[in-house]
């Protein structure tokens, strides 16, 4: 994405979608310190993410921060963009009463403890999409991010088009992982990760994937309704989701089930 960042500021972008005109003069990005910055663009062909009104970009490197801001502007011209360069600035934003539709968060953000910050963001912004970025795409990093409340992971080496597609899919309700493979290309999903479930939890997960009710799960596994509720609660916690129908999609994104 570093190499693609340079092209984001050029005029070589051509995308098979609707034409959006250049931004009005008052459409600016706002940093966490309150400074506004012009980000006007010439008309380009771009796909629209649709419905995105506010985006929070928490990124350590200024080059990536600028590139992500331009990417948001290209995909959703009417969206306001709020930027943070540290966990302190990101935390400050939480007190502004914002209702972001999308968070894009660098896992290398200074002071970030993903296991603490992401669950809190998910608790405060249940309807927002949370995308995490990282230069390290090992299974442990990805599993921790998704279990903590992230809806998707994008490797910083991903091409611009793959980053756009991954964020678009997350905004559409999917769980997505875009990581590098051993050959230097890109994958839209994770490699299979080690199971973190007990045998009984794995059985309950398989039945949840079939949209089975608690009563049906209890009957199939020969256990009590109370035990089923405990297993379902554990799966919700393990995968960092609040709805039972989201458990299986997230497990698939992590490569933990077919």
pLDDT band at 195 (very low <50, low <70, confident <90, very high): low
Please give the structure tokens belonging to residue 36: 């506004």
pTM of the model: 0.65
pLDDT higher at 187 or 161: 161
- pLDDT computed for residue 48 by the predictor: 53
* pLDDT above 90 (res 137): no
* pLDDT above 70 (res 13): no
Strand, helix or coil for residue 45: strand
* pLDDT above 70 (res 209): yes
pLDDT higher at 222 or 19: 222
Can you give 164-233 as a three-state secondary structure string? HHHHHHHHCCCCEEEEECCCCCEECCCCCCCCCCCHHHHHHHHHHHCCCCHHHHHHHHCCCHHHHHHHHH
């Amino acid at each position: 994405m570093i190499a693609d960042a340079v092209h984001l500021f050029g005029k070589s972008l051509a995308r098979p979608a609707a034409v959006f005109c250049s931004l009005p003069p008052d459409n600016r990005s706002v940093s966490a310190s309150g400074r506004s910055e012009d980000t006007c663009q010439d008309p380009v062909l771009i796909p629209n993410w649709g419905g995105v009104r506010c985006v929070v970009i928490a990124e350590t490197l200024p080059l990536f921060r600028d590139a992500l801001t331009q990417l948001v502007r290209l995909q959703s011209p009417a969206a306001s963009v709020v930027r943070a360069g540290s966990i302190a600035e990101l935390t400050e934003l939480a007190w502004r009463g914002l209702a972001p539709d999308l968070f894009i968060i660098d896992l290398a953000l200074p002071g970030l403890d993903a296991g603490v910050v992401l669950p809190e963001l998910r608790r405060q912004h249940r309807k927002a999409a949370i995308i995490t970025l990282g230069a390290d795409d090992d299974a442990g990093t990805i599993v921790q991010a998704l279990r903590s409340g992230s809806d998707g992971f994008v490797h910083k080496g991903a091409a611009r088009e793959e980053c756009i597609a991954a964020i678009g899919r997350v905004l559409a309700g999917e769980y997505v992982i875009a990581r590098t493979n051993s050959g230097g290309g890109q994958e839209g999903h994770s490699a299979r990760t080690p199971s973190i479930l007990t045998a009984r939890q794995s059985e309950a997960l398989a039945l949840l994937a079939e949209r089975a009710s608690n009563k049906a799960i209890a009957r199939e596994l020969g256990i009590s309704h109370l035990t089923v509720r405990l297993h379902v609660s554990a799966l919700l916690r393990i995968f960092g989701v609040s709805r039972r129908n989201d458990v299986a999609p997230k497990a698939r994104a992590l490569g933990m089930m077919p």
